[in-house]
Structure 1
Amino acid sequence: MIRNVVFDFGAVLFDWNPNKIVTEFTSSDYEQEQLLTNVLGHADWLSLDRGTMLMAEVIPKFSARVGFPESRMEDFFEHVQNQLTLIDVSANLVEHLLALNYPLYYLTNMSNAFFETLNDKHAFIREFKGGIVSANELLIKPEPEIFELLCQRYQLSPSECLFIDDNKQNVECARELGFEAIQFLPSEACIRQIMDKL
């Protein structure tokens, strides 16, 4: 029986579309490719999510790699955060689950700075019972340890949790650990699939 619902953030609750992010920042095809490959798709971005590098460290590295002044890279990071807009069907789902008194948790790969920005902008996050931000724990999905930490910290049983994530590897890892898990798409069909699990 599902008693708790665990949400990923990027591409589940908040829009995460790297192609859209870069095309809305610059019209230069060259710059778009640089930002996709050498910033958003670079291993240093994962280090930011893991918490092994801080924003102040990665911005100069990204600037040098892409050939942007640091001030422009700072503008890009601000732009990225502004692009993390709430997905309507997900917002409605959260509201519905809260009305049904389901305890909600989050498990997200994200830098602490990005999480704090979202937390400040969106009051509903404070309705969650708690959660794990990867950068605070030096762990990252799909490592089993981050799922285990969530369960340990909040005394959750995986078999009583529905985990919702857009990433196939994360969903498969959760299932292997005993979670009920759904790979998310922002569609009414997926919302119905989630509700059918509860």
Structure 2
Amino acid sequence: MIRNVIFDFGAVLFEWKPTKIVQTYTDSVFEQEMLLNEVLYHPDWVALDRGTMLMAEVIPKFAARTGFPEARMEDFFEHIQNSLEKISLTESIFYKVLDQGYSLYYLTNMSNAFFDTLNERHPFISFFKGGLVSGNELVIKPEAEIFELLQARFELDASESLFIDDNEENINTARSLGFKTIHFNQSSDCYKQIKSTLNIN
């Protein structure tokens, strides 16, 4: 029996489309490629998500690497945060799951600064019973440690918990630890699968 539902944030509850992010920031294809490869897909971004580097550290590094002035890189980071818009269909599912009495948790790879911004902007986050942000924990999905930490901190039984994530590696780790899983995409079939699994209309 499922008692707990665990949501990822990026590309599940909030839009996360790196290509769209850079395309809506600059018309220069050269700059778009550089921002993708030297910022969003760079190992320093993973370090930011993991919490082993802070925003104040990575912005100068990204600026130096791309040749952007630091002020423009700060502007790009503001643009990234503004691009994290709610996915309305998932938000609707979220409230239905909440109404059915499930305990809701989050497990997200994200810097604590980005999470703080989302938390300020979106009141529905307060309805979660709890969760983990990788930037606060120094561990990151798909590493098993972050799933085990979630279980330990909130006393969750994996077999009673449904984990919803868009990343296949994350899903595979969760499944190997005994979680029920749904590999998320924004398709009507996926939303139907969530509703069916949780017996909601």
* CA positional deviation for 1:188: 2.1
Which residue of the partner structure matches residue 53 of structure 1? 53
Q: Distance in 2 between matches of 1:196 and 1:91?
A: 17
8 Å CA contact 1:89–1:188 kept in 2: the answer is no
> Equivalent residue for 2:6?
6
C-alpha displacement at 1:194, in angstroms?
Answer: 1.1
Amino acid in the other structure paired with 2:194: I
Backbone CA RMSD of aligned residues:
0.5
User: Is 1:31–2:22 an aligned residue pair?
Assistant: no
Write the distance in 1 (CA, Å) between the matches of 2:147 and 2:109: 12
Which residue pairs with 1:40 in the alignment? 40
Cα distance, 1:187 vs structure 2 = 2.1
Counterpart Cα distance in 2 of 1:90 and 1:42: 28
Are 2:96 and 1:64 equivalent residues in the alignment? no
SS, match of residue 150 in structure 2: helix
Q: Give deviations 1:173-193, integer Å, cap 9, x for gaps.
A: 000000001110112211111
Match of 2:146 in 1: 146
Q: Which runs of 5 or more structure 1 residues have no equivalent in the other structure?
A: none
TM-score (norm 2): 0.98
The alpha carbon displacement at 1:115 in A equals 0.2
Query: 2: distance between equivalents of 1:93 and 1:185?
Result: 13
Deviates further, 96-105 or 5-14: 96-105
How far apart are the structure 1 equivalents of 2:191 and 2:150?
A: 24
Give me the identity figure in percent. 63
Q: Output one character per residue of 1:131-168: Cα deviation in whole Å (capped at 9) or x when no partner.
A: 00001000000000000000000000000000000000
**1:158 and 2:166 equivalent?**
no
Structure 1 position 98, deviation (Å): 1.0
- Could you say what secondary structure the match of 1:106 adopts? strand
The equivalent of 1:82 in structure 2 is 82
What is the CA–CA distance in structure 2 between the aligned matches of 1:136 and 1:129, rounded to whole Å? 17
Task: Give the residue type in structure 1 aligned to 2:166.
Answer: D
Alpha-carbon distance, 1:15 to partner: 0.2
For 1:194 and 1:149, locate their aligned partners in 2 and report how far apart those are by CA, in whole Å.
25
AA matched with 1:78:
E
Equivalent position SS for 1:172: helix
Letter in 1 for 2:95: E
Distance 1:101 1:189 in 2: 23
Distance in 2 (CA, whole Å) between partners of 1:9 and 1:95 is 15
> 1:24, 1:83 → 2: CA distance?
9
- SS of 2:16's partner is coil
3-state SS in 2 of match to 1:15: coil
- Provide the C-alpha distance between the structure 2 equivalents of 1:119 and 1:102, rounded to a whole number of angstroms: 21
| Equivalences, count | 198
- Counterpart-to-counterpart distance in 1, 2:195 and 2:29: 42
Aligned to 1:93: 93
User: How does the TM-score come out when normalised to structure 1?
Assistant: 0.99
| Aligned-partner SS, 1:171 | helix
